[in-house]
Amino acid sequence: MDAHTITKITLRSTDFERTLRFYNELFGWKFHQHSPTYLGFEPPAGIDGGFQKVDFFSPGDSVLIYVLVDDFEPYLRRIPELEGTSAAEVEVVTGYGEYVRFYDPDGNRFALWRTVVQPLEQ
């Protein structure tokens, strides 16, 4: 692995069981309980990490993490069923892609990212 590469991320969770259900059912992530206060996750590809157990934190008080998807709709239907929230507003990054922000049940900020490469106008 190259120096300065981001290798892991740690988010926060007030309820490990709810967190595990949300990400496992939404994205198929695998989980491992490393300690009573740390729940590790492994996505099918990309950066792994975990959730640190906390009693409380302010919703949205986290970095914005993008998860690659092919289509927004199946995820936007599942997010509220799994106690997450999303305004479902598509934001466009001209020439690269588009994304929709959502929050997990604890308020961690995420975005569904869809790559839509378009030539930039000159």
Q: What is the pLDDT along the chain (122 residues), one digit of tens a residue?
A: 577 677 899 999 999 999 999 999 999 999 999 999 999 999 999 999 999 999 988 877 778 899 999 999 999 999 999 999 999 899 998 888 999 999 999 999 999 999 987 655 55
Kindly report the CA angle at 104 between 54 and 85, in degrees rounded to 5?
135
Measured CA to CA, the distance from residue 4 to residue 83 in angstroms comes to 35
Domain locations in the chain?
A: 8-115
At the top level of CATH, the class of 8-115 is alpha beta
Give me the sign of the Cα torsion angle 74, 80, 84, 85.
positive
- Torsion over CA of 110, 84, 101 and 40, rounded to 10 degrees? 10
